[in-house]
Amino acid sequence: MPTEQSISLTNLAAGNMVAEIKNKVLLDTLNGEKTSRYPVWVMRQAGRVLSEYREVRAKAGSFINLVKNPELACEVTIQPVDIFDVDAAIIFSDILVVPEAMGFPYIMEESKGPVFPHTIKNISDVEQLEDKIDITDRLHYVLQAISLTRKELNGRVPLIGFAGAPLTILTYLIEGKGSKTFSEARKLLYTQPDLCHKALEKITHVTIQYLKAQVNAGAQVVQLFDSWAGIFPAEQYNRFGVPYLKRIGDELQNSVPVIMFPKGAWMSLKEFSGIQAKAIGIDWNTGIAEARNQLGAGKVIQGNLDPCTLYANLHDIRQQTLKMLGSFAGNRHIANLGHGVYPDVHRDHLKCFVDTVKEFNI
């Protein structure tokens, strides 16, 4: 029997599908249509770079409270669309809501980032990972935020949903926090590979259900963030990372366009040429020409300006952005940074980047 939450989500999503998208440059690019310019949006565009965001976060009381408040999450999701005129909104959330829904809650420590009080060390820990869960119940707040945002956007730009890639999620669960070496996660992949595959199977299953629920709630594009892909050697990443992303791509290929961002995994880009994803994100250490050579003509490439470029003066930001756009050579690209915008970047510098892209004709 559907719950009251699932009924309300269905009704919200149904109402959101009516509005026609006015700015389709991102969707057209992802779908192989010719456009007059490159689309642009920025990872972490809804965040501390905006004083408006900081005010809403103060009202929420904490980052996690903000993530779990659909109305406030909707508000900060739309802020960069209003302020920077980007070509897409990306729902304000966190990749760690998935392991929390699977029974491994996290806390957000100021100046340190996310911390998991309980980590994965052995098979009994993996058995505690719950994979037979009701997504519309445990992650209802994300789905409601997506539906509310679709309604409030009213077709201005498409809305991107997202999740963490399975290997990145497992890395957090093993380490319990960020790390300089990630030695605990890397060690476990070597010493207990079967345990790791079992955990990855569970995470992948829940991630697929979660992304499908996001699409049902109104997401028009989804992105997989494999934030720690680059810490693993190619052989290890190709064994523990790529196959699970491939499975997610296969499951979603008849749904909405999928973007995958395997940060730092330049050594494995060739593997992504055959994955069912419309676009592959690259970081600033990966050359555009080399990425195109590895991925082939059929993939859209997303990226890849160094986020630190935005600390430069406006003239230099514009010149570096134009240099990046020129390297695209008229091919299928989405302009973005090579990672999320840093919180102490001046908002005018981010606006300069966005405006420069939008003024550039292909």
pLDDT category of residue 88 using cuts at 50, 70 and 90: very high
Instruction: Record the tokens describing residue 341, joined without a space.
Output: 């915008």
Give the model confidence (pLDDT) of 33-76 as tens digits.
Answer: 999 999 999 999 999 999 999 999 999 999 999 999 999 999 99
Q: Taking 50 as the threshold, does the pLDDT of residue 4 lie above it?
A: no
pLDDT category of residue 131 using cuts at 50, 70 and 90: very high
Q: Which of 38, 44, 87, 138 is catalytic?
A: 44
Mean pLDDT of 180-203: 97
User: Which of 8, 21, 51 is closest to 153 using CA atoms?
Assistant: 21
Q: Which of 38, 53, 106, 172 is catalytic?
A: 172
Tally of domains in the chain: 1
Rounded Cα distance between 333 and 318, Å, is 18
By CB neighbour count within 10 A (0-12 exposed, 13-18 middle, 19+ buried), where does 179 fall? middle
**Parallel, antiparallel or unpaired: strands 113-115 and 300-305:** unpaired
By CB neighbour count within 10 A (0-12 exposed, 13-18 middle, 19+ buried), where does 190 fall? exposed
Asked about 239 being catalytic, the answer comes back as no
Q: Which residues partner with 30 through β-bridges?
A: none
Q: Is the dihedral of CA 344, 285, 259, 225 positive or negative?
A: negative
Mean pLDDT for the chain overall: 94
Q: According to the model, what pLDDT value does residue 111 have?
A: 72
Q: Which of 38, 87, 94, 283 is catalytic?
A: 94
CATH number at residue 269: 3.20.20.210
Q: According to the model, what pLDDT value does residue 3 have?
A: 46
Q: Taking 70 as the threshold, does the pLDDT of residue 201 lie above it?
A: yes
Q: According to the model, what pLDDT value does residue 110 have?
A: 78
- CB-CB contact of 289 with 327 (8 Å): yes
Task: Show Cβ contacts of residue 324 under 8 Å, excluding neighbours closer than 6 positions.
Answer: 288, 304, 305, 335
> Structural domain of residue 104, as residue ranges?
4-16+25-359
pTM score = 0.94
What letter would DSSP give residue 30?
H
User: Which of 208, 206, 223 is closest to 90 using CA atoms?
Assistant: 223
Rounded Cα distance between 223 and 340, Å, is 13
Rg (CA), the chain: 19
Q: According to the model, what pLDDT value does residue 176 have?
A: 95
Asked about 94 being catalytic, the answer comes back as yes
| 69 membership: H or E segment, kind and range | none
Give the model confidence (pLDDT) of 303-336 as tens digits.
Answer: 999 999 999 999 999 999 999 999 999 889 999 9
Rounded Cα distance between 296 and 161, Å, is 26
Mean pLDDT of 132-141: 98
Q: Taking 50 as the threshold, does the pLDDT of residue 16 lie above it?
A: no
Q: Which of 37, 54, 57, 239 is catalytic?
A: 57
> Could you give the percent of the chain with pLDDT greater than 70?
95
Rounded Cα distance between 240 and 247, Å, is 12
- CB-CB contact of 88 with 39 (8 Å): yes
pLDDT category of residue 1 using cuts at 50, 70 and 90: very low
Instruction: Record the tokens describing residue 54, joined without a space.
Output: 């900081």
Q: Kindly report the CA angle at 180 between 177 and 183, in degrees rounded to 5?
A: 80
Distances (CA, A) of 141 to 77, 78, 146, 147, 213: 14, 17, 9, 10, 12
**Parallel, antiparallel or unpaired: strands 107-109 and 113-115:** antiparallel
Distances (CA, A) of 287 to 52, 301, 336: 35, 11, 14
Task: Show Cβ contacts of residue 251 under 8 Å, excluding neighbours closer than 6 positions.
Answer: 208, 212
Q: Which of 48, 54, 318, 347 is catalytic?
A: 48
Give the model confidence (pLDDT) of 272-288 as tens digits.
Answer: 999 999 999 999 999 99
What letter would DSSP give residue 347?
H
Q: Taking 80 as the threshold, does the pLDDT of residue 6 lie above it?
A: no
Asked about 138 being catalytic, the answer comes back as no
Rounded Cα distance between 95 and 92, Å, is 10
User: Which of 241, 219, 223, 244 is closest to 232 using CA atoms?
Assistant: 241
Q: Taking 90 as the threshold, does the pLDDT of residue 32 lie above it?
A: yes
- CB-CB contact of 224 with 257 (8 Å): no
Rounded Cα distance between 326 and 332, Å, is 12
Give the model confidence (pLDDT) of 344-358 as tens digits.
Answer: 999 999 999 999 999
CA 161 to chain centroid, in Å, comes to 7
Asked about 172 being catalytic, the answer comes back as yes
